[in-house]
Amino acid sequence: MSKKTKSFRPKARRPKGLEDRFGALASAETALISAAADVYASHGFELLATPALEYADCLGKFLPDDDRPNEGVFAFTDDDDQWMALRYDLTAPLARFVAENYDPLPKPLRRFAVGPVWRNEKPGPGRFREFIQIDADTIGAPGMAADAEMIMLAADVMAAAGLAHGEYVIRVNNRKLLDAVLGNTGVPETDEGAVQKLRTLRAIDKLDRLGPEAVARLLGEGRKDSSGDFTKGAGLDAKGITAVLAYTRAGANDLDNTLSALEPLMGVSQKGAEGLGELRAIVALLQACGYGDGRTIIDPSIVRGLGYYTGPVFEADLLIETLNEKGQRVRFGSAGGGGRYDDLIARFRGQPVPATGFSFGVSRLAAALHGIGRLGTAPRGPVVVLALEADQMVHYFAMAEELRANGIRAEVYMGGSGMKAQMKYADKRHAPAVVIIGEDERAKGEVTVKNLVLGQQMSGNIKDNKEWREGRPAQVTGPRKTLLAMINEALT
């Protein structure tokens, strides 16, 4: 006899850094998206949807691992050998869209977008390879009013997500200030200097995670992490390292005091003076609109890791504490950010187009709310109409349709199981009530409504229809025509 060929059965497994979202988590993300979209729409921003896939050269490489070719994005070649990549944010596709449709678009263009993005990087707590972003951007507005509005939007989104004053802060900086500090320490305006600047930015961006000692090594020759991997440093000398670290520590809680502390660090740099002037214009608007109440601060350590920012940058920082994978209490940190990127669209058009925007990670913010127990419970499920007699499905569907016509979520049980399994199903669906018409109820023209919110959880004990009728806790029986009234009573 020939041996039976064993059929292949793949192991059900989820790739690292990718999450399944269901029930309470999925509902929380939907609620966060809706809250942010309402904030953006209230300011007159219009929704734009772009494809998940773009030509890789259109996206460009602006991620923190730009110095590692083919890293950071998920990419492949299509049938005509052109490289395609999953978008790593929603801003690079916006730049392509604006360049492609520049003339007919209103300018300034105010748009918001929501959707998943993908980054081929090492995942960690609250940091995923696929996550949802929701962005707002203004294209074609050169003044600092557009940046100030983005900062206000960031604060409003955090509040709309349910965070109170003192649980978040919007940290603001300007990249031109760091350019001035690096210029004063001898970093040249050459390709080599650009590499040093990029590595300096990425080193500073790790301050909250690694601390000043590790960052000092990244500003110098480089650093080996706990796994043994070596990261090449920015190559600054001791004087440069001291100057950069002093710059990052120049922040103060008061907006005006921080600006005063930063001024002597700029020396005679024209770029530094320009950056301070832009920050002063932003601060004046924030204070005039009531956002100088501690929700926004100037923080020189904020530089943002993406390579396309050209001026003001800002981050929404969560001050709440949550538990890490070791059970230790840690501050959650950044949930979103943005800044000015006047040169991004110039990649396509050859001339600068002023642009600024803010984005927050929906998945990351939901993870933070989950970590502090503020995510909420699973949403209330539909009313379930039990299907106790296979030949009565027409009547069961009619009842469900009647409830839906009156604005009540409802469904008919579609499985092939009996009473006990149907009650378990309703419990797992978080159903607030079930509708029961068995043979006896049908003969009398009646319907029974079981209130699952008030009643005890009986799904594990009910064996048959007789036991159900004899128990009768938190349930009412009445004429079929009173179904809607009984359901409404159960839902109040």
In Å, how far are 66, 99, 160, 344 from 350, measured between CA atoms? 22, 10, 39, 10
Tokens of 26: 């999925």
Give residues with Cβ within 8 angstroms of 307, minimum separation 6.
61, 62, 63, 66, 198, 201
Same domain (yes/no): 405, 330:
no
- Look at the chain and report how many structural domains it folds into: 2
Please check whether residue 7 lies inside any domain of the structure. Answer: no
- Assess if residue 296 is contained within a domain: yes
Regarding whether 281 and 236 lie in a shared domain, the answer is yes
In terms of domains, do 361 and 403 share one? no
Say whether both 64 and 197 belong to one domain: yes
CATH code, 398 = 3.40.50.800
**Residue 251 tokens, joined:** 């922040």
Residue 299 sits in the same domain as residue 403: no
- The token pair at 341 is 């990127």
DSSP H or E segment with residue 34: helix 24-42
Q: Which of 488, 480, 477, 486 is nearest to 396 (CA)?
A: 480
H-only helix segments in 374-431 = 393-405, 419-428
Q: Is 303 in contact with 175 (CB distance < 8 Å)? A: yes
**Do 346 and 390 share a structural domain?**
no
What's the number of CA atoms in the CB half-sphere (13 Å) around residue 323?
7
Asked if residue 286 lies in contact with residue 296, where contact means CB atoms within 8 angstroms, the answer is yes
* Residue 113 in domain: yes
Residue 338 located in a structural domain: yes
Residues 272 and 319 in one domain: yes
Contacts of 394 (CB under 8 A, 6+ apart): none
- Closest residue by Cα to residue 303 from 207, 379, 424: 207
Which pLDDT score, from 0 to 100, does residue 263 have?
A: 87
The one-letter code for the residue type at 232 is K
Q: Which of 323, 340, 371 is the last residue of a domain?
A: 371
Distance CA 343, CA 139 (A): 11
User: Strand locations in 60-184, DSSP E?
Assistant: 75-77, 83-86, 109-118, 130-139, 168-174
Element spanning 441, H or E: helix 439-444
CATH at 243: 3.30.930.10
Q: Are residues 195 and 237 in the same domain?
A: yes
- Residues contacting residue 492 through CB under 8 Å, at least 6 positions apart: none
Domain membership of residue 312 as a residue range: 24-371
Same domain, 244 and 318: yes
The one-letter code for the residue type at 285 is L
29: helix, coil or strand? helix
Q: Among residues 12, 16, 320, 268, which one has the least CA distance to residue 164?
A: 320
- Taking the C-alpha atoms of residue 485 and residue 429, their distance in angstroms, rounded to an integer, is 22
pLDDT score of 462: 54
Q: Are residues 443 and 485 in the same domain?
A: yes
Q: Are residues 215 and 274 in the same domain?
A: yes
Q: Helix, strand, or coil here: 196? A: helix
Of the candidates 371, 397, 428, which is a domain's last residue?
A: 371
Asked if residue 435 belongs to a domain, the reply is: yes
Residues of the chain with pLDDT under 50: 66-69, 456-460, 468
Q: Which of 193, 276, 200 is nearest to 245 (CA)?
A: 200
User: pTM (2 decimals)?
Assistant: 0.78
Q: What is the pLDDT of residue 461?
A: 53
Mind listing the pLDDT tens digit for each residue in 385-427? 999 999 999 999 999 999 999 999 999 999 989 999 999 999 9
